[in-house]
């Protein structure tokens, strides 16, 4: 049997995992696709770097173009990451009729439409299961498993770093900065954690999930983003007291020809299935018009979980190659939907206010909510021994984002309010 030849761009932790799986499971994989799978060329930054695995020195190059231009290679597996250069490699590989497997969420979130259009033109496959939620097969599920349904809502914990931080803060009552430092020491957080903790990583993944789930083109710029760096242990304690857990949630909702999408710290009711997802694990909750609630849970990162998804995509590409049906499963958005305005986005809100501890303050504050037609679910005023101010905790009923923006601007002008300590979305 003629082998299927693969070019690998990158041999870091994930690339090494890909090689381990392909070589370690060669007999089983070959029986699935009807041919041996041969990793023919590997592009690396440093050809002299010691490796955790043995690879043929003749297969190694420090020039990705050697891999892209090799006429023997059928499939390119891209695990080098980044956008600069990578987009050009992928587009040129497609131009040459090579199929693509990638784990690159940044590339697919920003340039997915262009890449998929080129793949369709050249009748090539571009599979990117590992770009979102690592070892969870959520992309294939959205494309195939929900093909007969209309997805109404997608809610995801899609960043393991932030979920680890918030879980530890909740379980141990620790501060954000202490847990972040611990996460960095354990290798769960980068030395520069900005992309994770400010929600940018999750936003890229949600743009991909929204595009596939709603069958439209969701741009990264459509995603409203806020991170967890402002979340305090006091916020989490208040959330738990009210029956909620704090999670960095990606939330995408679709109705008719409109959608909304955001990433933000969210108080989620403890009874909701996604509230119990802790540590570095990921989960994606999907609500379909016909199927109702479903949730997918597992490792969202790590060499082997991610490599597992990559090799599964590789197997799918090769099966298509054998059947002569490459390029037929590309999902190109076919329905234009517009981003909802703030007037049409509704959810509950939690606020913690530090205010003057005197009579009449509560009445002034509740009057502001009434002025903008925001009804209140609960209001609690309490003293805090460590704070000379009184603390007022407010949970609203569903209110439009536009109305809440007006409420917040008005509250900021009230002299009786010393500080708007916290404001979070509430779900469940």
CATH number of the domain bearing residue 396: 3.30.70.260
Residue 190 counted as an annotated binding residue: yes
338 within a domain of the structure (yes/no): no
- 426's tokens: 């509430």
For residue 314, CA distances in Å to 93, 96, 336 come to: 15, 18, 31
Annotated catalytic residue, options 98, 153, 205, 421: 205
The answer on 253 and 111 residing in a single domain is no
Residue 13 counted as an annotated binding residue: yes
Range of the domain at 351: 346-427
User: Quick check: is 205 catalytic?
Assistant: yes
Residues 132, 209: contact at Cβ < 8 Å? yes
- 2's tokens: 């003629």
23 within a domain of the structure (yes/no): yes
Rounded Cα–Cα distance for residues 118 and 231 (Å): 42
Residue 81 counted as an annotated binding residue: no
Identify the pLDDT of residue 382.
Answer: 80
> Exposed/middle/buried for 277, CB within 10 Å: 0-12, 13-18, 19+?
buried
The answer on 265 and 220 residing in a single domain is yes
Torsion angle of alpha carbons 339, 341, 342, 343, nearest 10°?
-140
The answer on 276 and 149 residing in a single domain is yes
Residue 97 counted as an annotated binding residue: no
329 within a domain of the structure (yes/no): no
382 within a domain of the structure (yes/no): yes
333 within a domain of the structure (yes/no): no
Identify the pLDDT of residue 383.
Answer: 76
Q: Residue length, the chain?
A: 428
> Exposed/middle/buried for 124, CB within 10 Å: 0-12, 13-18, 19+?
buried
> Exposed/middle/buried for 31, CB within 10 Å: 0-12, 13-18, 19+?
exposed
The answer on 69 and 126 residing in a single domain is yes
Identify the pLDDT of residue 330.
Answer: 63
The answer on 211 and 175 residing in a single domain is yes
The answer on 277 and 314 residing in a single domain is no
Identify the pLDDT of residue 48.
Answer: 87
Model confidence over 277-326: pLDDT tens digits?
999 999 999 999 999 999 999 998 889 999 999 999 999 999 999 999 98
The answer on 391 and 319 residing in a single domain is no
Helix axes 86-95, 105-122, angle to 10 degrees: 20
The answer on 143 and 129 residing in a single domain is no
The answer on 110 and 181 residing in a single domain is no
Residues 156, 284: contact at Cβ < 8 Å? yes
Residues 102, 84: contact at Cβ < 8 Å? no
Which residue, 299, 331, 362, sits at the end of a domain?
299
The answer on 387 and 266 residing in a single domain is no
Residue 298 counted as an annotated binding residue: no
341 within a domain of the structure (yes/no): no
**For residue 293, what is the domain's CATH number?**
3.30.360.10
Rounded Cα–Cα distance for residues 370 and 381 (Å): 18
Residues of the chain with pLDDT under 70: 329-333
The answer on 229 and 118 residing in a single domain is no
Identify the pLDDT of residue 333.
Answer: 61
Which residue, 267, 299, 331, sits at the end of a domain?
299
User: Does an H or E element contain 299, and which?
Assistant: strand 292-299
81 within a domain of the structure (yes/no): yes
Residues 300, 138: contact at Cβ < 8 Å? no
Q: How many domains does the chain have?
A: 3
């Amino acid at each position: 049997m003629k082998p299927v030849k693969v070019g690998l761009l990158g041999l870091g932790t994930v690339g090494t995992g890909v090689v381990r799986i392909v070589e370690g499971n060669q007999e089983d994989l070959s029986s699935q696709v009807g041919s041996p799978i041969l990793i023919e060329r590997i592009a690396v930054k440093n050809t002299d770097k010691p490796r955790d695995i043995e690879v043929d020195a003749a297969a190694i190059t420090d020039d990705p173009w050697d891999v892209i231009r090799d006429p023997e290679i059928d499939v390119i597996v891209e695990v080098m990451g980044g956008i600069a250069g990578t987009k050009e490699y992928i587009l040129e590989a497609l131009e040459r009729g090579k199929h693509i497997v990638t784990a690159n969420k940044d590339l697919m979130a920003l340039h997915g439409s262009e890449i998929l259009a080129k793949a369709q033109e050249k009748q090539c496959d571009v599979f990117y299961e590992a770009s979102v939620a690592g070892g969870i097969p959520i992309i294939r599920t959205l494309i195939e498993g929900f093909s007969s349904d209309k997805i109404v809502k997608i809610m995801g914990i899609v960043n393991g770093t932030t979920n680890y931080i918030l879980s530890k803060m909740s379980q141990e009552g620790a501060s954000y900065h202490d847990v972040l430092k611990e996460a960095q020491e354990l290798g769960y957080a980068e030395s520069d954690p900005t992309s994770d903790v400010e929600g940018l990583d999750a936003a890229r993944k949600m743009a991909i999930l929204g595009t596939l789930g709603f069958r439209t083109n969701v741009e990264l710029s459509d995603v409203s983003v806020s991170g967890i760096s402002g979340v305090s242990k006091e916020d989490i304690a208040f959330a738990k007291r009210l029956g909620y857990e704090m999670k960095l949630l990606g939330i995408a909702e679709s109705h008719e020809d409109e959608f909304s999408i955001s990433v933000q710290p969210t108080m989620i009711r403890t009874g909701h299935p996604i509230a119990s997802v802790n540590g570095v694990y990921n989960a994606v909750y999907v609500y379909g018009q016909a199927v109702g609630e479903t949730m997918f849970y597992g490792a969202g990162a790590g060499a082997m979980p991610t490599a597992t998804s990559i090799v599964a995509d590789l197997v799918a590409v090769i099966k298509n190659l054998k059947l002569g049906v490459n390029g037929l499963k590309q999902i190109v958005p076919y329905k234009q939907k517009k981003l909802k305005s703030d007037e049409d986005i509704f959810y509950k809100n939690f606020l913690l206010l530090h205010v003057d501890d005197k009579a009449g303050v509560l009445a002034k504050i509740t009057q502001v909510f009434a002025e903008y037609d925001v009804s209140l679910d609960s209001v609690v005023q309490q003293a805090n021994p460590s704070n000379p101010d009184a603390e007022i905790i407010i949970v609203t009923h569903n209110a439009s984002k536009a109305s809440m923006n007006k409420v917040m601007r008005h509250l900021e002008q009230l002299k009786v309010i010393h500080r708007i300590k916290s404001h979070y979305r509430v779900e469940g």
